[in-house]
């Protein structure tokens, strides 16, 4: 990667364990379609704060920050969830992420207030994904989600981040980012 280029694209997910821990996982690629995963890894956080109504980001934000702490040249972040929660811009996780790069939120369920989310159908699914974005037009974000690698409803990068966050088991051929 050339110095100063923004050529790392990351997809992140978090799983909260019954023990009170959280495991955040990331996968990275060299293109926004995530056509070839370059690296994957997870981070276990020993404690997370409890959910606080109206301040969910206090609990939800530390895991993605921890798993992305060593990523350099980040150009795009894709999260499992909403960037903003309503047409007025009430911030969701993606809006609080503040990594200084465009963020695409891909939610699997409709949030009633998020009437602005763009519905995206992928694969043979008749159930849409709900796409929101910050730092880029929502229509562009929706087009990227449609084009992301994978034959299923959820893009492969988010499916892999979800599986890694749940199990912590990295593929044997996967690499970690250089620190």
Asked if residue 2 is part of any domain, the answer here is no
Q: Is 26 helix (H, G, I), strand (E, B) or coil?
A: strand
Does some domain include residue 176?
no
pLDDT at 2 over 50: no
Q: How many domains does the chain have?
A: 1
Residue 138 in this model has a pLDDT that exceeds 90: yes
User: What mean pLDDT is reported for the chain?
Assistant: 85
Dist. CA 19–CA 31, nearest whole Å: 36
Q: What is the mean pLDDT of residues 121-125?
A: 93
What pTM value is reported for the model?
0.85
Query: Is residue 94 in some structural domain?
Result: yes
| Residue 79 resides in a domain | yes
| Confidence (pLDDT) at 34 | 97
DSSP structure string for 31-73: STT--SEEEEEEEEES--PPP-TT-HHHHHSHHHHHHTTT--S
First to last CA, the chain: 14
Containing structural domain, residue 13: 8-167
Question: What mean pLDDT comes out for the span 138-156?
Answer: 97
pLDDT in tens, 52-82: 666 556 567 789 889 999 898 999 999 998 8
Confidence of residue 19 (pLDDT cuts 50, 70, 90): confident
Query: Using an 8 Å Cβ cutoff, are 61 and 50 in contact?
Result: no
Bridge pairing between strands 103-107 and 8-16? unpaired
pLDDT digits (tens, 9 = 90+) for 88-97: 776 666 565 5
The upper half-sphere exposure of residue 13, i.e. CA atoms within 13 Å in the direction of its Cβ, equals 22
Tokens 């894709």 -> residue: 78
Confidence band, pLDDT 50/70/90 cuts, at residue 14: very high
CB atoms within 10 A of CB 21: 14
For residue 106, pLDDT beyond 90 = yes
In a domain, 1, yes or no: no
CATH number at residue 75: 3.30.2170.10
């Amino acid at each position: 990667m050339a110095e100063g280029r923004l050529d790392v694209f990351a997809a992140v997910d978090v799983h909260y364990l019954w023990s009170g821990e959280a495991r955040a996982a990331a996968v990275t690629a060299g293109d926004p379609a995530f056509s070839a995963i370059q690296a994957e890894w997870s981070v276990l956080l020993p404690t997370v704060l409890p959910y606080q109504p109206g301040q969910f980001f206090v609990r939800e934000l530390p895991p993605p920050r921890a798993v992305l702490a060593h990523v350099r040249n980040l150009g795009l972040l894709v999260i499992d969830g909403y960037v903003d929660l309503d047409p007025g811009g009430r911030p969701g996780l993606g809006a609080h992420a503040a990594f200084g790069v465009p963020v695409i939120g891909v939610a699997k369920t409709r949030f009633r207030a998020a009437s602005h989310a763009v519905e995206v159908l992928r694969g043979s699914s008749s159930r849409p994904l709900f796409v929101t974005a910050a730092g880029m037009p929502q229509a562009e974000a929706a087009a990227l989600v449609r084009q992301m690698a994978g034959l299923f409803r959820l893009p492969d990068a988010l499916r892999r981040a979800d599986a890694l966050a749940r199990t912590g088991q990295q593929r044997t051929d996967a690499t970690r980012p250089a620190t």
